[in-house]
Amino acid sequence: MANPGQCLLQCYFSECTIFGSTGEHVLKPKQTETTHESESHLTMQVVNHIRALIEEGALKPGEKIPPEREFAQKLKISRASLRTGIGYMAAMGIMKVRHGVGTFIAEGPPEIGKSSLGLLGALHGFKSWQMFEARLLLEGKMAALAAERGKEEHFTLLAEEVAEMYATIDDPEEYLIHDVRFHRTIAAASGNAILASLMETVTSALYDGRRKTVGLTRSLKGSADVHREIYRAIRTRNSKEAQRLMERHIQSAKDAQDDEERMASRKHKASKTPANGKVAV
């Protein structure tokens, strides 16, 4: 039932020499009927194709795909169409495009569509407190999971980051880096990449909104202490305590931001959006 000619890309791809494709992936022509599903034929075929390459291991995170002109020719489609497909995947954070260098499969913490949440927020009125509620839930749970499932290597990393935090207590910018890494490590230790992605998505939206000021106004010493306590709870596999501490930590971060916001709104003019707690992002 392998009718050739139905899908364009697949067939040509079998003669692609760059990837060891055995030409076996079958491009599902169109299988989503839930919504009409937009994204024209070719775009989706490109996406599905690259996806197939990834799934069969021909492309791994960090690797570079062929130059657009070359790739397009190989796939027997125009460069424009290929670019559409690449753009689609870049938008979702699957690929990274670097001007003058090349296009790469993304690596690092998966993040479900960078600004996605931010844009959606504009549409559906996401509020700041909702983000924190989501973080509270996600990070709390992940802290508990990390305590249950974490491996030695994770504990080591966590300890390092805590140490770095104490060391950079006078350098907010540097401190922030380790703060983020600490939370990411917990996410990794939780053993659930999906929850990690969701967290990454939410927090990145938070950062985009208010370019990192929270926490800088308060003593970083206290913050570092909290992280140390969280680490200890995880280290001793006390999941309940880890969750409790993490939730308290997030909550206090929220309080800090609320304070700051109240301060700012008092200073500024009370232009539009009367009392409505300021759109988060």
Partner DNA sequence: GAGCTTAAGAGGTCAGACCACTTGGTCTGC
Partner DNA sequence: GCAGACCAAGTGGTCTGACCTCTTAAGCTC
Cα–Cα distance between 163 and 237 in angstroms, integer? Answer: 20
Interaction with a copy of itself in 61-80: which residues (CB under 8 A)? Answer: 61, 80
Q: Is residue 79 a contact point for DNA (CB under 7 A)?
A: yes
Q: Is residue 70 a contact point for DNA (CB under 7 A)?
A: yes
Q: Is residue 49 a contact point for a copy of itself (CB under 8 A)?
A: no
Cα–Cα distance between 149 and 145 in angstroms, integer? Answer: 6
**Nearest CA-CA partner of 202 in 187, 216, 213, 190:** 187
Whether residue 222 contacts residue 253, with contact meaning beta carbons closer than 8 Å, is answered with: no
Please give the distance of CA 174 from its chain centroid, rounded to a whole number: 21
Query: Measured from the CB of residue 119, what is the shortest distance to a copy of itself in angstroms?
Result: 5
Which residues have a Cβ under 8 Å from the Cβ of 113 and sit 6 or more positions away?
A: 91, 92, 93, 201
Interaction with DNA in 19-38: which residues (CB under 7 A)? Answer: 38
Q: Among 6, 40, 130, 156, which residue sits at the site for DNA (rule: CB under 7 A)?
A: 40
Q: Is residue 80 a contact point for DNA (CB under 7 A)?
A: yes
Q: Is residue 268 a contact point for a copy of itself (CB under 8 A)?
A: no
Sheet of 64-65: strand order equals 64-65, 102-105, 95-98
Q: Among 34, 152, 170, 268, which residue sits at the site for a copy of itself (rule: CB under 8 A)?
A: 34
Q: Among 39, 68, 148, 225, which residue sits at the site for a copy of itself (rule: CB under 8 A)?
A: 39
Encoded amino acid at 188, one letter? A
Cα–Cα distance between 101 and 109 in angstroms, integer? Answer: 22
Choose among a copy of itself, DNA, none what residue 61 binds, the Cβ cut-off being 5 to 8 Å by kind. a copy of itself
Q: Is residue 29 a contact point for a copy of itself (CB under 8 A)?
A: no
Q: Among 9, 47, 65, 224, which residue sits at the site for DNA (rule: CB under 7 A)?
A: 65
Residues forming the site for DNA (CB under 7 A)? 38-43, 65, 67-70, 77-81, 83-84, 97-103
